Amino acid sequence: MTTQRQRAAIVTGAGSAQGIGFAAARLLGADGTRVVITSTTDRIFERVAELRAAGVRAEGVVADLTDQAGVDAVVACATDSFGGVDILVNNAGMTSVSDSYASGTAGALSRNHWQASIDRNLTTTFLMTRAVTGRMQAAGYGRIVNVSSVSGPVAAYGGDVAYHAAKAGIVGLTRAMAIDTAAAGVTVNAVAPGWIDTASASEHERVMGAATPVGRSGTADEVAYAIAFLAGEGASYITGQLITVDGANTIMEERGR
């Protein structure tokens, strides 16, 4: 990335100190980008304090991004604090960790649980993207980076159809938006993390990470570097693309050796 012009970014889903969102905000901020970070809980202010202690100009907003009012509050914070939004990193979302976002096969998943997972993992990306795209097009510059997953777009595991459908939907949204915004200098790309060792990773996920060709799970920072590249001014001719960050796991043909 370049620091020739100071940019402003929104990074969603940045509440966890060990998560991809915070890693991306930290890396962007280290390069001089001003950042607004958001999560659904007050812990976002702990992350803001950490960023500020590192010399990053940062603001935080507690918001439910499935609600338009929450989206509006985040964009208003960026506009009021930094004059606009140059970069959007859509990282908000979650796998099935509570009854509200339960996993299940198509035959077992309720309509409410399906909708909750789609809203949390796909609609949030749509609403945030819709909120900033017009401003970016008017300015003639923008970088949107969506955090998808290998689960859905390129691979799958059993028993979580809504999460897979949402993450695949992010890639379709990314490609369609890239076509719509390319002429205005706005790029839209996605990253697809594989087995990443964050605070929410289960022991099973860590075992799966150890079985990749690299021999370990990835780190949040390794995903953040891909995000920062796509968010940089130098990535101006890359749009509508999906970068997989999975230690070659999804291309490995021989398994169980």
Catalytic residues: 163
Beta bridge partners of 187: 143
Distance CA 22, CA 157 (A): 26
Radius of gyration of the chain (CA): 17
Please report, as a single letter, which amino acid is at residue 3: T
> What is the distance between the terminal CA atoms of the chain, rounded to a whole angstrom?
41
CB neighbourhood size of 184 (10 A): 15
User: Length of the chain, please?
Assistant: 257
Q: Answer for the pair 235, 192: CB distance below 8 angstroms, yes or no.
A: no
